[in-house]
Amino acid sequence: MKTLIWIASMISIFCSNIVVAQSQTEDTADEKGTQAQTKPLDIKEGTQETTHEVVINGEPVKYKATAGILMLKADTEQPKAYIFFIAYTKAGGTDLSRRPITFSFNGGPGCSSVWLHLGVLGPRRVLMADDGHSHPPPYQLVDNEYSLLDKTDLVFIDPVSTGYSRALKDEDAKAFHGIDKDIESVGEFIRLYVTRYERWSSPKFLIGESYGGTRAAGLAGYLQDRHGMYLNGIMLVSPALDYQTFQLDRGNDLPHILFLPTYAATAWYHNKLDKTLQADLKATLDQVEQFALGEYARVLLKGDTRSQDEHEAVVKELARFTGLSPEYLAQTNIRIKAWRFVKELLREQRRTVGRLDSRLTGLDYDAAGETADYDPSYDATVQGPFTTTFNDYVRTELQYQSDLPYEIWSWDVYPWDFGRFENRYVNLAETLREAMTKNRHLKVFVANGYYDLATPYFATEYIFNHMGLDESLRSNVSMAYYESGHMMYIHKKSLAKMKADLAQFVDSAVPQ
């Protein structure tokens, strides 16, 4: 049972081991229910508008909030699904040809847009403790002085079966639950919104977190090739682009190399390293990265032909960099599984560390177990505050009324259809490369958390270093790093830095 709980964590919200998901979601469907398949018999397209003001960087920003649905139709004009969205547009006669617009979504797949919405981008945010822990309930929303609304209008999209978005009564929701089907439906929503709200001439951006990075890369190609819609920029938050870099399958040694710096950062945070390594995180990570790409990679690639001396030397260095015992590392065949690491690092203290944010710790019933009972950086930190505040906010402040459950996270999208990637690792990095090659003005910003054990920062660096981008285009990619996890914005210091980084990126990608 504990293994299944960890697997659920691995596929939940922000990214996953979807191959595992496909094998076990039938068992979990009855447990989770089928709320997301509940479809009203009579749904009509419509929106609710309200006006507000927020202070950003000391300046008041007046804006209009629009919450509602747009119908997706077949070529026959027959409605087939509707997508719920919340848009924020700056008031005051802004020239739309100069005013950027950003389309935002989260990951999963199966996740609503609530995290980026109420975490960093929107004019209201969930109040968290400065270090990223949650406050006791009842939870609060506060004005977001770090919102990106001063730089760009914002549209938050809930893919079909998430949030309030649903397939219509006579349609099969599974028609939208696949990598290409999802890109097509979200792409159609973007085209329709841009057309209805007269934003074709506006500078356009996408921002996606985790699987939202998979979606954003796919959309960059789809919008260009299908609709001739060229983007100014893409912002990727803890993205999942090449699944080979984080799926810890037997025979795939690559993730073991790429996870190692995050193990070291986690051990550093919890003061499990020796004094020389505890002195400076960045200097320590430089050492770990060199070891990971050097001796560690060499010995892993040698497999069973490595000598005993080589094996022992690597075990010694792994112990020094991870805080784990040499005996334990020898038992792992020098291949550390993330779901074991979160349990092993603080086992003597009867604590586990988070997967989405390894700074945060949890309590397990059985300290001797192989896997954690839950992810303390999701279940015990963000799930309650974000779910509660959104459900109150959408009905009270935004005045949008619906009795449907707002599916923060939907299990009904599984099994997810990987189509052209069936029986191989998903990799949308090539689609992104093609889009950047055709649109040489397209810029990409990547936000990475040092304590992210879902999509480690070193794996993301590896992906971009192996994309094969022409040298003339490499400067179009910029990366930033935060002393937080997958959702770096729950940490207030990282939130402030992230706002500054995103604002600078938007300015750099819009023609002056």
- In-domain check, residue 206: yes
Average pLDDT, the chain: 92
Task: Classify 89 as helix, strand or coil.
Answer: strand
Assign 42 a pLDDT band (cuts: 50, 70, 90).
low
Q: 183 near 222, Cβ under 8 Å?
A: yes
Give the domain extent around 451.
Answer: 26-243+383-509
Which helix H or strand E contains 501, and what residues bound it? helix 492-509
Tokens 């020898």 belong to 330
- In-domain check, residue 74: yes
- In-domain check, residue 323: no
- In-domain check, residue 144: yes
Q: What is the pLDDT of residue 94?
A: 78
What percentage of the chain exceeds 70 in pLDDT?
Answer: 92
| Per-residue pLDDT at 35 exceeds 70 | no
Least confident of 44-48, 237-241, 403-407: 44-48
Task: Classify 188 as helix, strand or coil.
Answer: helix
Dist. CA 378–CA 362, nearest whole Å: 10
Average pLDDT over residues 133-158: 97
Q: What is the pLDDT of residue 19?
A: 35
| Per-residue pLDDT at 129 exceeds 50 | yes
- In-domain check, residue 248: no
Q: 399 near 66, Cβ under 8 Å?
A: no
| Per-residue pLDDT at 452 exceeds 50 | yes
Q: What is the pLDDT of residue 9?
A: 42
Tokens 């945010």 belong to 125
| Per-residue pLDDT at 495 exceeds 70 | yes
Q: Among residues 140, 97, 104, 108, which one has the least CA distance to residue 122?
A: 104
Least confident of 91-100, 119-128, 249-258, 287-296: 91-100
Dist. CA 366–CA 373, nearest whole Å: 8
Dist. CA 248–CA 348, nearest whole Å: 25
Tokens 């090449």 belong to 242
- State the total domains in the chain: 1
- In-domain check, residue 337: no
Position with higher pLDDT, 40 vs 33: 40
**Bridge partners of 180?**
none
Dist. CA 342–CA 269, nearest whole Å: 13
| Per-residue pLDDT at 34 exceeds 50 | no
Q: What is the pLDDT of residue 333?
A: 96
Whole-angstrom CA distances from 235 to 231, 376, 390, 475, 498 are 11, 27, 23, 15, 11
Q: What is the pLDDT of residue 76?
A: 72
Assign 44 a pLDDT band (cuts: 50, 70, 90).
confident
Average pLDDT over residues 487-507: 98
Q: What is the pLDDT of residue 234?
A: 98
CATH number at residue 486: 3.40.50.1820
Assign 36 a pLDDT band (cuts: 50, 70, 90).
very low
- In-domain check, residue 279: no
Task: Classify 187 as helix, strand or coil.
Answer: helix
Assign 353 a pLDDT band (cuts: 50, 70, 90).
very high
Average pLDDT over residues 357-376: 94
Q: Among residues 182, 106, 37, which one has the least CA distance to residue 386?
A: 106
- In-domain check, residue 439: yes
Q: What is the pLDDT of residue 77?
A: 80
pLDDT for 284-333, tens place per residue? 999 999 999 999 999 999 999 999 999 999 999 999 999 999 999 999 99
